[in-house]
Amino acid sequence: MHHPGRHPFLQAPHRTMVRLSLPVLLSLVAEPLTGLADTAFIARLGAGPLAALGVGTIALSGVFWIFNFLGIGAQTEIARSLGAGRSERAREVAGLAVVLAALFGIFLLLAGFPAARTAAGLMGAAAKCRMRPPPTCAGAWPAPRRSSSSPPPSAPCADCRTCAPRSGSPPG
């Protein structure tokens, strides 16, 4: 394949470039493909859930691309350090990247959940774009357990196609 001591890029630059770039290409294509698959499944539930998915997908993609700098920067610095024979520096950068990723993740969890409704509203989501239909939507989801003292569920809401019973048509 290649001679010991001779770098594969010097021997076959095009083949080496393709071998190195394919995993990166696949990782960059994976996120939009999962969004496409989500859309295909959620579209069957109606316009409300599909709109909510759109807002969620925009938010997830935004966070993904905003924090992509950490992966790209770490990969670049690790590759540069390993190329220069500084494996200790590469380990330090990798460790720092893992710690920063964990800290950013914890921050997003702590700040993201309380701010989710506000952020969705700022992105134009209507109040009825929720993760689940309200419990009054009969037939759309498994009915919640009720105690004998709780009132019976009301009829499906008239303005929400997601509240249509699965086997029937949308409420009129």
Instruction: Please compute the mean of the pLDDT values over residues 4-15 and round it to a whole number.
Output: 81
The DSSP line for 9-60 is HHH-HHHHHHHHHHHHHHHHHHHHHHHHHHHHHHGGG-HHHHHHHHHHHHHH
Instruction: Please compute the mean of the pLDDT values over residues 66-91 and round it to a whole number.
Output: 90
DSSP state of 153: P
Band of pLDDT at residue 64, cut at 50, 70 and 90: confident
Name which of 57, 44, 80, 83 is nearest 162 in CA terms: 44
Q: What are phi and psi of 54, to 5 degrees?
A: -60, -45
3-state class of 113 per DSSP?
Answer: helix
Rounded Cα gap, residues 114 and 121, in angstroms: 13
Q: How many CB atoms lie within 10 A of CB 113?
A: 9
Tell me the whole-structure pTM to 2 decimals: 0.54
Q: What is the pLDDT of residue 126?
A: 67
The CA-based angle 26-9-83, given to 5 degrees, is: 85
Asked if 74 and 97 touch (Cβ cutoff 8 Å), the reply is yes
Instruction: Please compute the mean of the pLDDT values over residues 71-84 and round it to a whole number.
Output: 90
Q: What is the pLDDT of residue 4?
A: 61
For the chain, what percent of residues have pLDDT higher than 70? 70
